[in-house]
């Protein structure tokens, strides 16, 4: 059994202030978490704002280095990646999907340029790709998310709906054939009628492409709907973890119970 992602007793402390008024904030305290390579899954990370969810995501993506512990991806310590080539190889395997698609794309730049640039960057590792190869790769990624290149080509972000734009962002993340997506609140800015289409897309990506997804959210209902495992975080610590359905059907920790009770249920039956 090999591990795709091994988060080993990781902690992150931010320090604030100058020499005399130094304060430190422990955003993440001692978290361990494993995702197996052979068993793709959707892992939900749930917690209130300020619980360290996004810091954990940044460490998985290698954007923040842990102050304690190690993040191993495919057996390699993320903190030890130094050279550009190694970093590119790592980034090809782990890709982010951001919260707000309207902020993720430059409003003055055509959306397809992000897709072509991503494809060109990652394909350059194996010789210079031709225009047709790049376009074929981009189109394949777009078809995966239910769009086509013809729909997206030449469009500016404001010409696409929020749902289309978030799908395009996911397609961009799929171009280098990653093994892990880190999605930080990917549906909180998407309209109600399109939210479920993004969530359903995640479960089909897991089933068809064997992709593991770390799904960060504070929406327990969608977490229950799509995820296999769940961890519930509070103040930088994991308070409860396990099979998503079991944890949410029958939460044990007082905080998890409080979270579940706070969910508004649209029940009139």
Partner 1 sequence: MQTEALLRSPDIVVEPTLTVERLKAYYTTKAFGIDRDIRAVDDISLTVAKGEVYGVAGESSSGKTSLIKTIVGAIRPPLHVVGGTVRFNFGGQTYDIYDLKPDELQAIRWRHLSYIMQGSMNVLNPVRRIKHSFYDFAFPHMGLGRATFWDRVRDHLRKLDLDPGVLDSYPHQLSGGMRQRTTIALATVCTPEFIVADEPTTALDVIVQRDVLTMLRDIQRDLGSSFLFVTHDMSVHATVSDRVGIVYAGRLVEEADTPTLFRSARHPYTQHLVASLPKIGDTTRRASLSGRPPSLADPPPGCRFHPRCPLAMDVCSKEVPPLVSIAPRHRVACFAVTGAPS
What residues line the site for partner 1 (CB under 8 A)?
Answer: 48-49, 161-164, 191-197, 199-200, 218-222, 224-225, 245, 248-249, 258-269
Judged by CB, which is closer to partner 1: 37, or 196? 196
Contact status, residue 64 vs residue 55, Cβ threshold 8 Å:
yes
Contact status, residue 68 vs residue 9, Cβ threshold 8 Å:
yes
Judged by CB, which is closer to partner 1: 110, or 260? 260
Judged by CB, which is closer to partner 1: 60, or 223? 223
DSSP 55: H
Q: How far apart are CA 53 and CA 215, in angstroms?
A: 10
Phi, psi (rounded to 5 degrees) for 240: -155, 145
Beta-strand relationship, 68-73 and 229-234:
unpaired
Q: How far is the CB of 8 from partner 1 (least distance, A)?
A: 28
Judged by CB, which is closer to partner 1: 36, or 219? 219
Q: How far is the CB of 132 from partner 1 (least distance, A)?
A: 29
Contact status, residue 86 vs residue 149, Cβ threshold 8 Å:
no
Contact status, residue 180 vs residue 149, Cβ threshold 8 Å:
no
Instruction: Please list the alpha-helical segments (H only) found in the chain.
Output: 53-60, 84-93, 101-104, 111-123, 131-144, 149-152, 162-174, 192-209, 220-226, 244-249, 254-262
Beta-strand relationship, 212-217 and 42-47:
parallel
Judged by CB, which is closer to partner 1: 6, or 184? 184
Judged by CB, which is closer to partner 1: 164, or 212? 164
Q: How big is the chain by its Cα radius of gyration, in Å?
A: 19
Q: How far is the CB of 43 from partner 1 (least distance, A)?
A: 17
Enter the tokens of residue 51: 């619980």
Judged by CB, which is closer to partner 1: 133, or 237? 237
Q: How far is the CB of 206 from partner 1 (least distance, A)?
A: 14
Q: How far is the CB of 49 from partner 1 (least distance, A)?
A: 5
Q: How far is the CB of 255 from partner 1 (least distance, A)?
A: 9
* Tokens 């059907």 belong to residue: 249
Q: How far is the CB of 117 from partner 1 (least distance, A)?
A: 25
Judged by CB, which is closer to partner 1: 34, or 250? 250
b/e sequence 138-163, b meaning 16+ C-beta within 10 Å: bbebbebbbbebeebbeeebeebebb
Q: How far is the CB of 200 from partner 1 (least distance, A)?
A: 6
Cα-Cα end-to-end distance for the chain: 46
């Amino acid at each position: 059994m090999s591990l795709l992602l091994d988060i080993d007793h990781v902690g992150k402390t931010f320090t604030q202030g100058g020499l005399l008024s130094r304060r430190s904030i422990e955003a993440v305290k001692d978290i361990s978490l494993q995702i197996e390579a052979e068993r793709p899954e959707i892992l939900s990370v749930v917690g209130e704002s300020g619980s360290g969810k996004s810091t954990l995501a940044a460490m998985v993506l290698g954007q923040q280095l842990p102050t304690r512990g190690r993040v191993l991806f495919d057996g390699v310590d993320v903190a030890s990646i130094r050279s550009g080539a190694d970093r590119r190889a790592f980034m090809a395997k782990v890709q982010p999907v951001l919260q707000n698609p309207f902020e993720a794309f430059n409003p003055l730049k055509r959306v397809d340029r992000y897709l072509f640039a991503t494809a060109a960057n990652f394909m350059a590792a194996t010789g210079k790709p031709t225009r047709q190869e790049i376009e074929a790769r981009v189109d394949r990624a777009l078809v995966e998310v239910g769009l086509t290149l013809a729909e997206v080509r030449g469009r500016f972000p404001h010409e696409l709906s929020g749902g289309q734009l978030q799908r395009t962002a996911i397609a961009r993340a799929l171009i280098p054939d990653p093994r892990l997506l880190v999605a930080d609140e990917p549906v909180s800015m998407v309209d109600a009628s399109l939210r479920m289409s993004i969530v359903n897309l995640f479960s089909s990506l897991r089933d068809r492409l064997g992709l593991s997804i770390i799904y960060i959210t504070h929406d327990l209902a969608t977490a229950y709907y799509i995820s296999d495992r769940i961890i519930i975080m509070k103040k930088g610590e994991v308070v409860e973890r396990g099979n998503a359905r079991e944890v949410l059907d029958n939460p044990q920790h007082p905080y998890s119970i409080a979270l579940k009770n706070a969910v508004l249920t649209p029940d009139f039956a």
